[in-house]
Amino acid sequence: MSRDWALSRFGPKTVLGVMAAEPEYGPALRARIRPLITGVGPVEAAAAVAHALAELRREAALPDLIVSLGSAGSRTLDHARVYRVSHVAYRDMDASVLGFPPGETPYPRLPAVLALAEGPAALPPARLATGASVVSGAAYDRIDADMVDMETFAVVRAAARFSVPVLGLRGVSDGRSDLSALSHWTDALAEVDVRLAEALDLLHDHFTPAAPESA
């Protein structure tokens, strides 16, 4: 079966790149990976990743790692800089009226915050909150995280069903000012594309064994 995505190799590791939307997939990334484009939001991300991993499992070809990458919003982090996701939360989950802590998924008892795979030390870590809404302005006041997206938590949960770890890379595209037009997001994507490609190069070096020194 033909696919518009493919596994990549980073040193000894096979990697499935996962992105939400075509506008984030610019020329710098196209020169490096062919990611699975899931569609926007946690439902689309979970469905697409689970389907792809089920196919790969049938072929005995599950990847060693998923790299979930793309843009993110942040009111405090540097614009266009790429951050490694250290932890991710599901900001839409709130069963507190039933006695569960906000953010905790009650059945199963899933922690409110999940840790992601480690990566290159040169990429600064940041906490991410995933949800099904675009965050802007005062909406950041309700979120206990450094940045926001709409897919990573869902990618992590889908991948967990197949015991595949996830590393998250997010370039900050917006958040310092209110969003009122699509261009307020897309205008930054060309620079984010370049920075994400640089982060993938760091990741490749991180996983590639150093050549032995000659005698």
- Give pLDDT tens digits for 37-92: 999 999 999 999 999 999 999 999 999 999 999 999 999 999 999 999 999 999 99
Distances (CA, A) of 126 to 52, 78, 86, 115: 27, 11, 6, 11
Report, as an integer, the average pLDDT of 210-214.
65
| pLDDT above 80 for 210 | no
- Cα–Cα dist 211/123, whole Å: 23
CA geometry: angle 44, 48, 49, nearest 5 deg: 115
Of the candidates 196, 168, 163, which has an alpha carbon nearest to the alpha carbon of residue 24? Answer: 196
Read off the pLDDT of residues 96-129 as tens digits, 9 standing for 90 and up: 999 999 999 999 888 899 999 999 999 999 999 9
- Cα–Cα dist 130/70, whole Å: 13
Query: Where residue 178 falls among pLDDT bands split at 50, 70, 90?
Result: confident
Q: In this predicted structure, what is the pLDDT of residue 1? A: 41
Of the candidates 38, 98, 25, which has an alpha carbon nearest to the alpha carbon of residue 66? Answer: 38
Query: Where residue 6 falls among pLDDT bands split at 50, 70, 90?
Result: very high
The dihedrals phi and psi of 101, each to the nearest 5 degrees, come to -60, 140
| pLDDT above 80 for 215 | no
Q: In this predicted structure, what is the pLDDT of residue 180? A: 83
3 state SS of 131: coil
3 state SS of 168: strand
Burial class (CB in 10 A: 0-12, 13-18, 19+), 23: middle
Instruction: Flag whether the pTM goes above 0.85.
Output: yes
Read off the pLDDT of residues 186-203 as tens digits, 9 standing for 90 and up: 899 999 999 999 999 999
Q: In this predicted structure, what is the pLDDT of residue 22? A: 96
